[in-house]
Structure 1
């Protein structure tokens, strides 16, 4: 079982990343404005399933990697930290452009809204980075089963 400090730390960082604007947030805002809160909630369901897919994939991949290569944990942590620093630089460097663009969106059915939310989440690099580079920072191999953590 993960320690409460690790759970709180991961939850706080995840909340910060989820609340910052990105493809998922822009998609949810645009659908909610164009089609109402119901469409936004359906889209949010697809995005949440995408988060779960990444979390399970990351946990399975990290577990397999740690079983195969003894020092992989340290390499994975270091690589994840470097990648997060790179992303931070990309976010604050001069010359960035706005991702917001005003346009009309067609009304879609619930199934399409859910699928678009799912694929927006699965194709969102920020979500992949969150789980693949941040998750290893909170895993302790000496604490037992890595997959359970």
Structure 2
């Protein structure tokens, strides 16, 4: 099991890493502004699921398998990079309209937000670096049992990311009135598009 110092160090490191602006938080703010809190939290759920995926890879040592399945991981890397580029294109060309605070968000849009969050995290170099490079320096992964992963690391990761993400979601919702103009929305979405395009390029260069 993890001791208190490891729990606190991991929580602090994860919180700081999550709060640093990147493609995930840029998309989270943009989605929260355009679709409201529910849409934002759906995207946040996808972001968290992506983090849990990398956490599991790190804990169970599956990153080492990449050496034996190099072609498969290269294919996945290119797929994620292309999807990030597609999202960047979608954000750049998004057709904006006046914000309606009381409208119901379609289920298809919520599912799309969650999928976007997952893909953005899987292709985020910052997330990859945290779990596969920084995490082993914070926690002795060889000493992490299945129980510690399931009952400590997973709930702790969800709690920290949910707390940090909620600040961005509610902050974006509170300033929606400042971004009600179509020009302001365009700037926000195109800024997010540029960050996603940079993340896609980093995925390819990193390989």
Q: TM-score, normalised by structure 2?
A: 0.48
Is the 2:10–2:139 Cα contact (8 Å) retained in structure 1?
no
Q: CA RMSD in A?
A: 2.7
1:104–1:7: structure 2 CA closer, same or farther, 3 Å change rule?
A: same
Q: Which aligned pairs between 1:28-107 and structure 2 lie closer than 5 A?
A: 28-61=28-61, 105=94
Aligned length: 111
Offset of 1:47 from its aligned partner? Answer: 0.5
Q: Which runs of 5+ in 1 are unaligned?
A: 66-101
Q: Distance in 2 between matches of 1:105 and 1:39?
A: 16
Residue 9 (structure 1) aligns with = 9
Higher helix fraction (1 or 2): 2
- Answer yes or no: is the 8 Å Cα contact 1:54–1:131 preserved in 2: yes
Structure 2 spans left out of the alignment, 5+ residues: 66-90, 97-107, 149-207
The equivalent of 1:112 in structure 2 is: 112
After TM superposition, the runs of 4+ consecutive aligned structure 1 residues lying more than 6 A away are 62-65
- The alpha-carbon deviation at position 139 of structure 1 amounts to 3.1
Q: Is the 8 A contact 2:24 2:117 kept in 1?
A: yes
